[in-house]
Chains A and B, each alone.
Chain A
Amino acid sequence: MSTRSYSALILLGGLHLLLVILGASYTDLSDFGPVGEVINYYGEMTGSNKSYGFFAPGVGAQARTRFEMIDASGKSTQVSLENSRSHEADLRINNITSQMTPDSDEVDVEEVARDLRRSVAASLAGKVFGRFRTARSVIVHVDEFNPVNMPEYRLGQRPQWEEIYQATFVQENSASEVPK
């Protein structure tokens, strides 16, 4: 390979790193017409459009989903989709659940968040129906866990799971929901 070819490769590498920097700084290039869309697709392929805010700016709330399965006789049973066969799998299931916690930093997304929450809840309830054939209805409870800071902990405050959403799904595809 000639030096000129390598110079071209360095230039391409530099452009790639520029996209990495833009991605890391949350710059959305998809608004720049077709070129932006191509760059965005390239970013999806290579991961260059991603940001790196792990545990930043802080640790927020954690969500969990509980399912109450009610059979034909009206008997209620608590079931879980997280099977604890591996923490890695549970982390992924928890990521799905976290889609149901509204992001307080976003504005004007209440309706979208509500629809998304309902869709995710319905999807998970469908999974419970599939796994437990005797279920006639499934109540999906979404709880949120807000850790307490050290000063409050010292004063005796303890973190609690708090229900933020509840929806009931019955097999006839009718459902009712109770946002908290």
Chain B
Amino acid sequence: MKTFMRDATAKAQRFFLEPASARPLAALRIGLALTLLGQAYLVRSEILELFSSSGYVQGALSQSFHVPGTPTVLMFASWLSHLSVSEDLAIFMLGGAYVFSLIFVALGMFTRTSLVMAWFLHWTFMNSNDTTNYGADLFAQVFLFYLMLSPAGSAWSFDVHLGRIDSKPTSAARLSLRLMQFHLCIMYLASGIEKASGIQWWNGQLLWRALNTPIYKQYDMSWMIDYPYLTQLGGWATLFFELGYIVFIWPRSTRRWWIMAMVGLHLGIAVFMGLGVFGVLMAMLTPALFAVSAEPLALAIGTQRSSRYSWRGDATSTALRSEQAT
């Protein structure tokens, strides 16, 4: 029993704390920043309409959707008005700061500070007009928060290039990666369970209805009426891959199928439903967190294939340990 406990503790410690490269975190950092820059570009002309007190959701109404105590654009605008800064200018200044922080995040310059700023401003914009938020905003907020606390600048960054940050593998990188991986697993499981509770995902009506609803309709998909099994298969496949994600994303033998399925599913949403930002953001999450190797480069060579059923990285560390033993 004692041996079992010792082994279990050692395995858990290795799983959560074995020093890892920050490359997956860097991939997520860059992908997320570029996606959010794209989003900012797409809504640039609507920024005043979305966030000013004379925008679509005006005055007191916007306050009714606001969670008390959370920062908003209008709160900052009110502070800046003491410096004779107009509300519109204040919104542009905050928007500009957000864009610059994202550029710095993507480049990995002053990464931690930039991530804190990007997360805070993103949250502020989300609080400022809650009625317009959707899934892409939520996932950006979730992963900016994780990245902000992780050593995301320790790979593929100017900070490393300029010697400001060390790129050596750390336990913090491994722990951050595990937390984000588990979050993604919980998210897909919850999403799958909720989908499975509705008949539309089982009988094929969901894809049919979604693809023919004006706001999502990108192409004429009425031909699908002649191929009902296609929409049904699409619904079942989505349920299968979302519900199975928490189990099958981990073993090496099935991981690649789940990565491909998730990328395909979300790019499909982007192309066929016009949810470009959401689709690209979601398509990027799984490959960044599960396909980009977290193993230190010097150790990874030639050891990745030594065990078919190991957790990614365990093969590497086993090989390293046997090398050390000999």
Contacts and interface: CB of A to CB of B under 8 A. Distances in A.
For chain A, the bracket of interface size reads: 35 or more
A155 B189 CA distance: 37
Contacts of A88: 39, 42-43, 276-277
Interface string B243-270: 0000000000000000000000000000
A94 B210 contact: no
A47 B46 contact: no
B184 to A, nearest CB: 10
B210 A55 contact: yes
B198 A95 contact: no
B182 A17 contact: yes
Given A13-B175, A95-B134, A120-B57, A89 B43 contact: yes
Contacts of A136: none
Contacts of A21: 186, 190
Contact of B205 (A9, A20, A58, A95): A58
Nearest to A46: B145
A72 interface: no
B162 interface: no
A29 interface: no
Which secondary structure dominates where chain B touches chain A? Answer: helix
A171 interface: no
B206 A62 contact: no
Contacts of B39: 88
A58 B187 contact: no
B179 interface: yes
Contacts of B50: 89, 92
Nearest to B231: A150
B43 A92 contact: yes
Nearest to B46: A89
Question: Can you list the 4 inter-chain pairs with the closest CB atoms, starting with the nearest?
Answer: A57-B198, A58-B200, A24-B190, A56-B194
Interface of B: 13, 16-17, 39, 42-43, 45-46, 49-50, 54-59, 61, 64, 67, 69-70, 123, 127, 131-135, 138-139, 141-142, 145, 171-172, 175, 178-179, 182-183, 186-191, 194-195, 197-201, 204-206, 208-210, 212-215, 225, 228, 231, 274-277
Interface of A: 1, 3, 6, 9-10, 13, 16-17, 20-21, 24-25, 41, 44-48, 50-59, 62, 64, 81, 83, 85-96, 99, 116, 119-120, 122-124, 126-127, 130, 145, 147, 149-150, 153-154, 159
